[in-house]
Amino acid sequence: MFTLLTLHGPAIAGKDPRREQLGSKDFEVWSALGALLSREEKFVDAENALKKALAFKPDDPATENELVKVYKSMGRYEEAVQLSQKGIKQRPQDYWLHFDLAQSYVSLGRYAEAKEAFARAKAIDSKEPAAYIHEGYALLHAGEDTQAKESFESLIRIDTASPFGYHHLASYFFSHGQFVEAEASLKREFQALEADPKARTADIIEANANLGAVIRKQGRLDEAEAVFRNGLKKMAPDSKQRSHFLLMLAKIADSQGKRAQAEDFFKRAVAASEAPFLVRWERLEALVELGRFYLKQGRRPEAAVVVDRAGKLDEGAMIVKWDEFSSFKKLAELYRDLGDVSRSEALYVRLMAIRRTMPRHPGLSGAGKDLADLYVEQSRLPEAEDLYHQAIEIFDHWGCWEEEAVVFDSLAAAYEKGGKRQEADEAREKSKALRARPFNGRMCTDRPTRDR
């Protein structure tokens, strides 16, 4: 068995005549180690291991693909693009190279090139769902709603028996606060899963999670609770969904005033999130929600301890990824509410960096307003004004008129503080006009920022 010590031994470093024989074996070890370190989110070490593997076997497709993933995880998208383009020259019919290139372009905000790369991937394999799914979410967060919906509907057309299309179309509706439509689509997903004898239990459980969330959003708490309790019974003890289901039960109990039961569920969710196969945001989500619960109960010392644990998960992080956005935003709120303004501001600034890749990500509106509020408190009014206008534009795009009105109120207060009376009056009038509009069915608060 090879160990890390063996890998640095004299047989590798010296001029041993068996070097050629060892070369292949060394490649396999370094490549496997790089993939393992990547899964553990130790990206710097993963990069080093993968580059050592490529030194033994240059241009290995699997290793280069893994290195592309590492570059993307570290936010080094230009390098990911270059490596994908190099691979495409050698393997022009490799679907996943075009797919990875498209994702890197999305992360750089280069949507025209992303669409071309997604189109090439779909031309190579029109039945593979990955390009349709990821292009759909990229378009959604870029504000191109019609094309996003068409991308998800294409999944249904290419395979009407598959649950994929209904699953992601439901996510589209959920993102727009159209929960009735989302529920109908999720039920179609269930029908497809039930009709498939090879359907994975994990997929059925995930569909349960989404259906429960949609039902909860419509205020049918007892029904949602039953869905999540039933899901817990079905899943294996080590299921990666356990923490999420417990969190949802905790939130339902909390909203019903069952504080002791809610706390028990929150603590069980945190314990379940410590499973080694869960990624950072899943651990963060559980800790942040427990911290929010404690703070709401006025238990600041306990909240501070939990927030400190959550903050350690952020140490050394290079970028905030879109599926982590919601949890990190809540962490920034906790920092602020516990009085750590500098730490809160620093995290909000990092969150706002996602604008380049997802300019109309729904979470940006709330994060932008929160950061603007902090700037107003510091009398940094021009910066605050810019962020308020960005939040207004995003809320307007999503049809979130109530939330947009609240931002106009904050903008009016900022103008007032800066002595701009006329601008303050205009902002208040716009807020009043928005509140006078009839309800459009959009439930925009607490929007999801990860599409399951």
Q: How far apart are the first and last CA of the chain?
A: 39
19 — pLDDT class (breaks 50, 70, 90): very low
What region, left, alpha or beta, does residue 299 occupy, with left being phi > 0 and alpha being psi -120 to 50 degrees? beta
Question: Mean pLDDT throughout 8-20?
Answer: 34
Helix H, strand E, coil C: the string for 275-333 is CCCCCHHHHHHHHHHHHHHHHHCCCHHHHHHHHHHHHHCCCCCCCCCHHHHHHHHHHHH
pLDDT of 18 higher than 70:
no
pLDDT value at residue 25: 62
pLDDT value at residue 359: 73
Q: Are 354 and 387 in contact (CB under 8 A)?
A: no
318 — pLDDT class (breaks 50, 70, 90): low
pLDDT of 8 higher than 50:
no
Q: What is the pLDDT of residues 214-245, one digit of tens each?
A: 999 999 999 999 999 988 888 888 788 899 99
- What angle separates helix 401-417 from helix 362-377, to the nearest 10 degrees? 20
Tokens, residue 364: 């940006």
Other beta carbons within 10 angstroms of residue 233's beta carbon come to 6
Question: Mean pLDDT throughout 352-357?
Answer: 78
Q: What is the pLDDT of residues 96-152, one digit of tens each?
A: 999 999 999 988 888 899 999 999 999 999 999 999 999 998 888 777 888 999 999
Tokens, residue 242: 């356990």
- What angle separates helix 179-194 from helix 164-175, to the nearest 10 degrees? 170
Question: Which among 16-25, 135-144, 266-275, 306-315 has the top mean pLDDT?
Answer: 266-275
Tokens, residue 319: 């970028």
206 — pLDDT class (breaks 50, 70, 90): confident
Find, among 76, 15, 70, the residue nearest to 45 by Cα: 70
17 — pLDDT class (breaks 50, 70, 90): very low
pLDDT of 6 higher than 70:
no
411 vs 75, more confident: 411
pLDDT of 50 higher than 70:
yes
319 — pLDDT class (breaks 50, 70, 90): low
Find, among 350, 404, 413, the residue nearest to 384 by Cα: 413
Please report where in the chains the tokens 């008129």 appear, as a residue.
401
pLDDT value at residue 362: 75
Q: Where are the domains of the chain?
A: 279-341, 359-452
Please report where in the chains the tokens 């904050």 appear, as a residue.
410
159 — pLDDT class (breaks 50, 70, 90): confident
The DSSP symbol for 241 reads T
pLDDT of 10 higher than 50:
no
pLDDT of 21 higher than 50:
no
Kindly report the CATH number that applies to the domain delimited by 359-452.
1.25.40.10
In angstroms, the CA 172 to CA 110 distance is 22
pLDDT of 2 higher than 50:
no
In angstroms, the CA 178 to CA 167 distance is 14
Percentage of the chain beyond pLDDT 90 is: 53
Other beta carbons within 10 angstroms of residue 212's beta carbon come to 26
Please report where in the chains the tokens 């075009």 appear, as a residue.
98
pLDDT value at residue 26: 82
Q: What is the pLDDT of residues 243-293, one digit of tens each?
A: 999 999 999 999 999 999 999 999 999 999 887 766 677 888 999 999 999
Q: What is the pLDDT of residues 426-441, one digit of tens each?
A: 999 999 999 888 765 5
125 vs 312, more confident: 125
Other beta carbons within 10 angstroms of residue 312's beta carbon come to 11
76 — pLDDT class (breaks 50, 70, 90): confident
pLDDT value at residue 315: 67
pLDDT of 208 higher than 90:
no
pLDDT value at residue 42: 84
The pTM of the full predicted model, rounded to 2 decimals, is 0.73
pLDDT value at residue 325: 84
Question: Mean pLDDT throughout 302-309?
Answer: 94
